[in-house]
Amino acid sequence: MKAHKRTFGWLAIVAALALVAAGCGSSDNSTSNSSNTMTTATTPTATTTETMAPAPAATDAAAGGALVLKVDPGKLKFDKETLTAPAGKVTISLTNTENVQHNVALKDASGAVLKEGALVGDAGVSTITLDNLKPGTYEYYCTPHESIGMKGTLTVT
């Protein structure tokens, strides 16, 4: 009876090992089969090329000659060195973003001052309007800082 119990014990161990081995083998086959049958499809995507038009000159003809300037932060300069406007009524507005006072003024080619806007501090706006500006070249400038280069050219067409 002892021999029968030993044989039965060995049979139980072998059977258990066989089941474990079969379970592991089965798991590996299903994994490898599923990974072997898996395919990846790639779909080409359309590429859109966007062409940017060059930035227009600082002209605001659609607004009837209304031009906008800003102080270039940290520099005693305007953000634009050239402006273009149609003949007739022209308005130039300068938005100041600094604590230093600035304004906008305009003179003709002979140096005659045509108009000076008020000096304004931070968040202020200095505006000049000329009702009948003729075609030509003019200089716009900041009165206290013109001598150090805070100026630009306005071309009226």
- Which are the contacts of 96, defined by CB distance < 8 A and separation ≥ 6? 71, 102, 120, 121, 122, 123, 124, 125, 126
Mean pLDDT of the residues in the chain: 77
Which of 75, 73, 79, 67 minimizes the C-alpha distance to 138? 67
pLDDT at position 89 is 97
CA distances from 26 to 9, 13, 150 (A): 26, 20, 83
d(CA 148, CA 14): 99
Q: What percent of the chain has pLDDT over 70?
A: 59
pLDDT at position 117 is 98
Contact 134, 106 (CB under 8 A): no
pLDDT at position 73 is 85
Residue scoring higher pLDDT (49 or 87): 87
d(CA 110, CA 79): 25
d(CA 121, CA 118): 10
CA distances from 145 to 71, 95, 148, 150, 156 (A): 12, 15, 6, 5, 24
Whether the predicted pLDDT of 25 surpasses 80: no
Whether the predicted pLDDT of 19 surpasses 90: no
pTM of the model: 0.60
pLDDT at position 27 is 44
Q: What is the DSSP letter of 97?
A: -
* pLDDT band, residue 2 (cuts 50/70/90): low
Q: What is the mean pLDDT of residues 113-117?
A: 98
pLDDT in tens, 47-78: 433 333 333 444 444 456 899 999 988 889 99
Residue scoring higher pLDDT (6 or 81): 81
Q: What is the mean pLDDT of residues 14-27?
A: 52
- Which are the contacts of 74, defined by CB distance < 8 A and separation ≥ 6? none
d(CA 85, CA 107): 15
pLDDT in tens, 126-149: 999 999 999 999 999 999 999 999
pLDDT at position 145 is 97
Strand 88-95 to strand 66-70: parallel, antiparallel, or no bridges (unpaired)?
Answer: parallel
